[in-house]
Chains A and B, each alone.
Chain A
Amino acid sequence: MDIITLAHGSGGKATHSLIKDVFYKHFKNDILLQQKDSGILQNLNGKIAVTTDSFVVKPIFFHGGDIGKLSVCGTVNDLAVCGAKPLYITVGFIIEEGLKIDVLEKITKSMAKTAEKTEIKIVAGDTKVVEKGKADKIFINTTGIGLIEDNQIDLSINRIKEGDKVILSGTLGDHGMCIMNSRGELGLDAYIKSDCCLLNTLIRDILKISKNIKFMRDPTRGGLATTLNEIIENSNNSIVLNEGDIPIKKKVMSMCELLGFDPLYVANEGKIVVIVSDNDADIVLKIMRKNPLGKDSKIIGRVINDGNNRVYLKTEIGGTRMLNMLSGELLPRIC
């Protein structure tokens, strides 16, 4: 059986053949194939965005994606929400010995396919192999480099003002509940697909249409509630959300109900939250809805200036409650 052994991380012949037969085969591009110790990038004119992220998802294959797709999407999305065009990505693999090589190849192919879709080049990489039990199958670290070509793009928390609208690009909690269900520990027979996807084209479209987009973020871990708290944390502003306007799939809602989770805190991998001026909110919403990734977009709230920097939720029955940041991790309730 072809499996990863410690030899594949030794830097010797096995490493060399892994790089050649798996990584170069799928990640091939002019920069990587120069086979230098560093990828040499073209002159980049403009502001450069850099981001890094590590992916340790379990299981590594899930409905709607896998750890490879997730690692490229996550990094591309982090560049895109800053207004950058994603250009280059580096990849570091930490692999537990015993992983089948065809599993690694499947992940690699998925990364290559996702990168190709967004025209981002995988320009450098690294492989380490650790002993059985020292990692969980495979961990991936990625670093992304993007270029902010349009000097007029100014996405900054400081630009957020009273009256600005909060737009969410679609349903909440799909990724988090998919992962939880895919672990097979809940004994639930629910088909929930992760929303893991590339958001850069959706973001490009709305940045083209409006110069009054104040800030964007993809609400990943910690969910929408934590993301909005981070956004208004150091300002005088607060955000009021309307519970009835927040889109959540019935299946996701049912599973959250059953386990005692609040979908506002569950992770997403294919959604953006956009803070935009009141005047441009409708046109931005219209453009978002034209894109299949934003078809369920909704204005879910507004910015108020009450000096409290809090996130409030106006409930369906007209009550108000606060949404704090997630404290600790999500765990199913007892009863």
Chain B
Amino acid sequence: MKYIKEFRNPNLAKRMLDDILHAIKGNITIMEVCGTHTMSIFKNGIRSLLPKNISMISGPGCPVCVTEQGFIDTATKLCRNDDIIIASFGDMMKVPGTSSSLKIEKALGRDIKVVLSPLDCLNIAKQNPNKEVVFLAIGFETTAPIIALSIYKAKKENINNYSILQSIKTMPDVLRHIASNEEVNIDGFLCPGHVSTVIGVKPFEFLVKEFNLPAVIAGFEYCDIIGAIYFIVDMIAKKEYKVKNIYERIVKYEGNKKALAIIDEVFNPADSTWRGLGNIKNTGFKLKDNYKNFDAVSKLNIKMVQSYIHKDCICGEILKGLKKPTECKLFAKVCSPLNPIGACMISQEGTCNTYYKYEAR
């Protein structure tokens, strides 16, 4: 528990909350980009302790939430092929497509395996030489290195029955997209801690240079988060903006060079379509030419399914921080974790799921 207990110090948290109260002038809206931050804010009851003029809004930092419905529909269609084993992170199982989900398909007997790491897929592929193992590659810069490593190893070990259906997203440019949206009114960013462990501090410096917005990279314990809020409020009060890293125990300025190297070995930057936000330039990956044999779409000649989300679902506005889950007509009435309509309700780190879990009934 080293590096956790130290950041669970109620007295320090209370002192920092007092400091926030003294430093704050006017109303401040802070976007916490990462879904794990959202969860921690709710889990620790931080919202109930903040002054009323601080508004915390959740950003697009939940990997499941931003995965388009067409991706799920493609995956559920693909798993009906007896020659294919679908491997997925657990969270994806519950995500509803247009008419099915991986969980339903698994219940119907399709060969779908939940893995904790894409590296597990290599063993599954070795054990099932007559089947193609397709990993549903989603996530951000956090999961990209291990996915890249699985492909690198598969190539090295001549495992030819492994491929990925790829929808990895990258973070900095989606924040640029949000910050440059005129409707959005954000005074500071609580930058994603997990993503920062991989990419470092530098990629977030544009928030200050281009938008004059303060940003803090923080961990996930309550002292980390309250500390980050304090520094954002303090920078706003002093009008001195920078990207402050208070997660130095994990996050280095240049990031994790080893992780970045393996991403660079396997992927090139590319545009990506975000559920609720549309296509955003330079927010995804594509496999480099020498790894294209691992791209399930071309390898298996897959036609990606185009689908549309429910007309009343406001996940797009929620992901941009324009609306809160409680403003959605479907929230807690039609849409709940047992019957999720929009992506934000599905993942345990999704904004709607978190609101439902901690504030709704």
B49 A317 Cβ-Cβ under 8 A? yes
B306 within 8 A of A: no
Question: In this complex, which of B45, B46, B48, B194 has the most chain A Cβ atoms within 10 angstroms of its Cβ?
Answer: B45
B337 A335 Cβ-Cβ under 8 A? no
Closest B residue, CB atoms, query A328: B337
A327 B49 Cβ-Cβ under 8 A? no
Contact with A along B320-357 (1 / 0, CB 8 A): 00000000000000001110000000011100000011
- Residues of chain B within 8 A (CB-CB) of A327 are 336-338, 356-357
Contact with A along B203-244 (1 / 0, CB 8 A): 000000000000000000010001000000000000000000
A331 B90 Cβ-Cβ under 8 A? yes
In the complex, A260→B62 CA distance in Å?
14
In the complex, A254→B49 CA distance in Å?
26
B291 within 8 A of A: no
In the complex, A235→B46 CA distance in Å?
28
- Residues of chain A within 8 A (CB-CB) of B194 are 335
- Residues of chain B within 8 A (CB-CB) of A334 are 63-64, 89-91, 138-139, 143, 347, 349
A:272-317 near B, CB below 8 Å? 310, 313-317
B1 A316 Cβ-Cβ under 8 A? no
B52 within 8 A of A: no
- Residues of chain A within 8 A (CB-CB) of B89 are 332, 334
Interface residues on B, range: 35 or more
Given known pairs A260-B348, A327-B338, the reply for A250 and B14 (CB within 8 Å) is: no
In the complex, A317→B43 CA distance in Å?
11
Contact with A along B255-277 (1 / 0, CB 8 A): 00000000000000000000000
B21 within 8 A of A: no
Contact with A along B86-124 (1 / 0, CB 8 A): 000111011000000000000000000010100000000
Given known pairs A317-B13, A327-B357, the reply for A335 and B114 (CB within 8 Å) is: no
A333 B91 Cβ-Cβ under 8 A? yes
A20 within 8 A of B: no
In the complex, A187→B359 CA distance in Å?
35
A321 B336 Cβ-Cβ under 8 A? no
Which DSSP category, helix, strand, loop or mixed, fits chain A's interface?
Answer: loop
Question: In this complex, which of B46, B348, B356 has the most chain A Cβ atoms within 10 angstroms of its Cβ?
Answer: B348
B10 within 8 A of A: yes
- Residues of chain A within 8 A (CB-CB) of B90 are 331-334
Closest A residue, CB atoms, query B50: A319
Q: Which listed residue, B63, B116, B338, touches A332 by the CB 8 Å rule?
A: B116
A205 within 8 A of B: no
B91 A328 Cβ-Cβ under 8 A? no
Question: In this complex, which of B64, B336, B357 has the most chain A Cβ atoms within 10 angstroms of its Cβ?
Answer: B357
B308 within 8 A of A: no
A12 within 8 A of B: no
A321 B48 Cβ-Cβ under 8 A? yes
A251 CB to closest chain B CB, in angstroms?
A: 10
- Residues of chain B within 8 A (CB-CB) of A319 are 44-49
A282 CB to closest chain B CB, in angstroms?
A: 25
B207 CB to closest chain A CB, in angstroms?
A: 21
B1 A335 Cβ-Cβ under 8 A? no
A:244-274 near B, CB below 8 Å? 244, 250, 253-254, 257, 260, 262
A173 CB to closest chain B CB, in angstroms?
A: 15
In the complex, A310→B361 CA distance in Å?
9
- Residues of chain A within 8 A (CB-CB) of B356 are 324, 327
B69 within 8 A of A: no
Question: In this complex, which of A185, A314, A321 has the most chain B Cβ atoms within 10 angstroms of its Cβ?
Answer: A321
- Residues of chain B within 8 A (CB-CB) of A318 are 10, 14, 45, 49
- Residues of chain B within 8 A (CB-CB) of A29 are none
B330 CB to closest chain A CB, in angstroms?
A: 16
In the complex, A332→B91 CA distance in Å?
7
Contact with A along B50-79 (1 / 0, CB 8 A): 000000000000011000000000000000
Contact with A along B1-34 (1 / 0, CB 8 A): 1001000101001100100000000000000000
A186 within 8 A of B: yes
A187 B348 Cβ-Cβ under 8 A? no
B:154-186 near A, CB below 8 Å? none
Q: Which listed residue, A185, A262, A328, A335, touches B94 by the CB 8 Å rule?
A: A328
Given known pairs A327-B336, A331-B114, A332-B116, the reply for A321 and B44 (CB within 8 Å) is: yes
In the complex, A186→B117 CA distance in Å?
9
B189 within 8 A of A: no
A300 CB to closest chain B CB, in angstroms?
A: 16
A48 within 8 A of B: no
B116 A187 Cβ-Cβ under 8 A? yes
In the complex, A332→B114 CA distance in Å?
10
A328 B338 Cβ-Cβ under 8 A? yes
A320 within 8 A of B: yes
- Residues of chain B within 8 A (CB-CB) of A316 are 8, 10, 44, 222
Given known pairs A321-B43, A333-B348, the reply for A186 and B116 (CB within 8 Å) is: yes
In the complex, A307→B143 CA distance in Å?
45
B116 A320 Cβ-Cβ under 8 A? no
Given known pairs A324-B357, A334-B91, the reply for A317 and B14 (CB within 8 Å) is: yes
B349 A333 Cβ-Cβ under 8 A? yes
A320 B48 Cβ-Cβ under 8 A? yes
In the complex, A229→B249 CA distance in Å?
38
In the complex, A262→B143 CA distance in Å?
22
Question: In this complex, which of A244, A262, A318, A333 has the most chain B Cβ atoms within 10 angstroms of its Cβ?
Answer: A333
B4 A321 Cβ-Cβ under 8 A? no
In the complex, A327→B339 CA distance in Å?
10
Given contacts A321-B44, A333-B348, 13 further A-B contacts (CB under 8 A): A187-B116, A257-B4, A260-B349, A316-B222, A317-B45, A317-B49, A321-B48, A324-B358, A331-B90, A331-B93, A334-B63, A334-B91, A335-B140
What 5 pairs across the A-B complex have the smallest Cβ distances? Answer: A319-B45, A331-B90, A327-B337, A335-B142, A315-B45
- Between A and B, 18 residue pairs with Cβ closer than 8 Å are A186-B116, A317-B17, A317-B46, A317-B49, A317-B222, A318-B14, A319-B45, A319-B47, A321-B43, A321-B45, A322-B361, A324-B360, A327-B356, A333-B91, A334-B64, A334-B138, A334-B349, A335-B139
